[in-house]
């Protein structure tokens, strides 16, 4: 082997190391982006589909509203924020239940 061949072989090592670093960096970046896309993209869509699926099996029953309270935000910067609390009871299959669970989502229809 000649001296020139040895020098050119050594000069390609930094370039190969740079390519390896770039490949590892891209794999980490793409992996992180995929994880974020899954968490903030696919999981909410799956949750909404699951909620819709469960909502189709709900049975409407009469309820008695015992207490309703709507309050504004406590600080001057939060006056537009509202808090809703409700207490109600309902009867299902002969058993009376009390709850405070509410949803203020509006479904078109």
**pLDDT tens profile 58-109:** 888 999 999 998 877 666 666 666 778 899 999 999 999 999 987 766 554 4
- Distance between CA 103 and CA 54 in Å, rounded? 14
| 8-state DSSP, 74 | S
- Distance between CA 85 and CA 65 in Å, rounded? 11
* pTM > 0.75: no
Helix/strand/coil for 104: coil
Task: Give the model's pLDDT for residue 81.
Answer: 65
**pLDDT tens profile 26-57:** 899 888 888 888 888 888 888 888 888 887 78
Residue 104 tokens, joined: 């203020």
Q: 73 with 81: CB under 8 angstroms?
A: yes
Instruction: Give residue for tokens 């050594």.
Output: 10
Within the chain, where are the H helices? 3-37, 43-55
């Amino acid at each position: 082997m000649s001296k020139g061949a040895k020098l050119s072989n050594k000069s390609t090592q930094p370039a190969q190391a740079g390519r390896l670093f770039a490949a590892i960096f891209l794999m980490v970046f793409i992996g992180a982006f995929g994880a974020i896309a899954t968490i903030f993209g696919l999981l909410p869509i799956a949750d909404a589909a699951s909620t819709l699926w469960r909502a189709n099996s709900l049975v409407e029953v009469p309820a008695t509203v015992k207490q309703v309270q709507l309050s504004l935000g406590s600080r001057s910067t939060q006056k537009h924020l509202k808090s809703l609390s409700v207490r109600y009871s309902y009867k299902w299959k002969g058993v009376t239940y009390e709850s405070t669970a509410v949803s203020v989502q509006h479904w078109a229809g």
